[in-house]
Chains A and B, each alone.
Chain A
């Protein structure tokens, strides 16, 4: 895909690995990136002031060399990276509205997804199993209307990704360059996302994952999406940052409520107190966007299944308790539990305990 002159200029500017503030300052010296390149001499003093003399000389040299841009673009092509620049037609309008929009979005996968309606689902790494399952379900239901935006962390993010991955309607925003994967155990997941959905980052491929990059990444998640569902998060977690960003951008923020004392949900409860909409089913989200979710299928249960389901609905229940209350035999129960699990009514929370998710 050929880039326009303006796009090339932005890619060129982004390739110098300035931090965001410097980059913005340089960018603002000229009316647009192309004129910055064309009339570099004219802006040179201002650029030198912003970036420092060394960097400025480096930029100058790169402009003189004929190969620099060619080599840069070739590397990106080799790495299957497509650059969506601020001036690109594909660049999401929502991001342009941000106070600190990324200059270039490096994309791997189906970049056309950026055009569609987007909804973010984020969760912390420590998320209860039943919430994970619930997140998968939410993601699966919403993918019919939205492209799901999320990160790549374990736990909540992975669950959201898992729900939307099959349909390919998934954008995963990374906080590092494409030469890296974090966490390592999600390497396979990232490969699948690049193949079916879209992975996006504002960082050069060589940028390694670092703690301080993640909060900045979260603003992109919040900025891209029309709304954010926070499935879990502690008082000071990254999901809280995403939610705060989304709120400050005027987006709808939804959060699952938690019981007091559940650490992995304290952040959710805190944002519900402040601005988020308490959400315990998808209808809450759907109605906010005027979407009609397809009616849930009627699930038929036998008497024994219903009895077990009703007990589990009371709260997280241990297998021994279910056996005691229903009088079922130990060999009858596993089959029933598996069936209920398959019908997406309950999930295993580990330790032979089960919780209802519907």
Chain B
């Protein structure tokens, strides 16, 4: 007898409906799985067999054919276990009277019949909902994540028996309560600006960077707290909206790194090691494409510690996503576009020995060595980093001082005000922050008075800035003005913006 059950397969951040067709025929006992399954899908046979047996059902000693339609798309992962098990039960008439039409089955089976959570549930649910599917049965371990999808009926089961009882009407499960997104809520970031002592200039630079969505480079000797400052960036970013949180959760779900809460409510902070390859940063994979670090940092911060140590090719690959806010990864399995809208925070030493500009230690590097070290970051990449700021060694007195520095919450309030100004300014466009502005917006929103123009020109002449820095400076000046609540850009804003290009005029 033939049965048909719906499941879903993941393709990038999208789900595709997969019809699991099961046919049982008389003949020598065999199990044939077709429809381009990968190893994990093929192995479902053993899991399904044991799970059925250990749930008190029968695995038929007949010729079983399972087809995953459409048959021309490669299927990966263990999502289909539950659907295959239900399909076999239906086909062998162990589920009489149960109506499985319109229900999407997702989940991996354990040998004892329990349901194991799978990665990528959220994007699957979202695309299934968009395709009109209204009823889902999935593992209880994915319940937290799935609960954020409203308007559909979701049943979270712990075991195969629960699913069978539910379907046959013996013991109906209660549908999942839709969870309300409560922002970051009780979750807290570990870092806080209140713990960063001194560093007045760097703190201010962080505030400006986050306000305008600018990328930032922290230059300083080892042990000066560059990493600590970077960790504070998410803490002063505005809370994620539900849509933003959902975007992030989708990506993290696909990557299989979702935590217990089910939704990512804290801004991600990703710190790939400097041995990271281009693929691990940008995303890729053999057949199915997985998101890379830059996508995992979407709506959050990508922190590249000791930037010159990264592979040149990996760094250069960041250029396009930095510009576009997304990355399209093309593999033989197809092209997938992942969002990658993040604040890039990079840190580096001022020179190979690390002591250039240090007050108490002597730098032993020749200018040529420093030049070489700094040139490991290419001009085009440096151009995309609007703010460069020096972080210097903290004095012992500062470290032990009881004086409370301003906390992240205070800074965040100012950042939110500046973001609000930008939100109103860019209403109706797809631009979110000043950093995203193109030449057109620069012309419309960043008109410079003759006085500002004069100062800008002078600063270029005197400080030997590269001409490419101009639009960057104007954008940062716009952000500084927004922080102040000023309608127009004043000379002081330009000057402050210029002060964040100190790295450019070295040597």
Contact = CB atoms under 8 A, between A and B. Distances in A.
Q: Please say whether chains A and B are actual partners in one complex.
A: yes
Interface of A: 125-126, 129, 154-155, 158, 183-185, 263, 318-320, 323, 330-339, 341-342, 344, 348-353
Given A338-B459, A341-B462, A342-B463, A318 B392 contact: yes
B392 A334 contact: no
B499 A338 contact: yes
B392 A351 contact: yes
B357 A334 contact: no
16 contacts: A154-B367, A154-B507, A155-B367, A185-B375, A320-B398, A330-B201, A331-B483, A334-B499, A336-B495, A348-B502, A350-B358, A351-B350, A351-B357, A351-B359, A351-B390, A352-B391
Contacts of B286: none
B203 interface: yes
Contacts of A352: 201, 390-392
Contacts of B390: 350-352
Contacts of A338: 459, 463, 495-496, 498-499
A323 B496 CA distance: 15
Contact of A125 (B366, B492, B502): B366
B210 to A, nearest CB: 14
A334 B221 CA distance: 21
Interface size classification for chain B? 35 or more
Contacts of A323: 200
Given A338-B463, A342-B459, 4 more contacts: A318-B359, A323-B200, A330-B200, A333-B201
Contacts of A332: 492
A337 B398 CA distance: 23
Interface string B342-370: 00000000100000111100100011100
A183 B201 CA distance: 34
A131 to B, nearest CB: 13
B135 interface: no
Main secondary structure of the interface of B (DSSP, over half): helix
A125 B496 contact: no
A337 B463 CA distance: 12
Contacts of A129: 357
A184 B368 contact: yes
Contacts of A351: 220-221, 350, 356-359, 390, 392-393
Nearest to B364: A126
Contacts of A336: 495
A346 B507 CA distance: 16
Nearest to B406: A330
Contacts of B201: 319, 330, 333-334, 352
A342 B220 CA distance: 23
A318 B198 CA distance: 11
Nearest to B458: A342
B372 interface: yes
Contacts of B220: 351
A358 to B, nearest CB: 14
A282 to B, nearest CB: 18
B204 A330 contact: yes
A350 B398 CA distance: 20
A237 to B, nearest CB: 12
B376 interface: no
A170 to B, nearest CB: 17
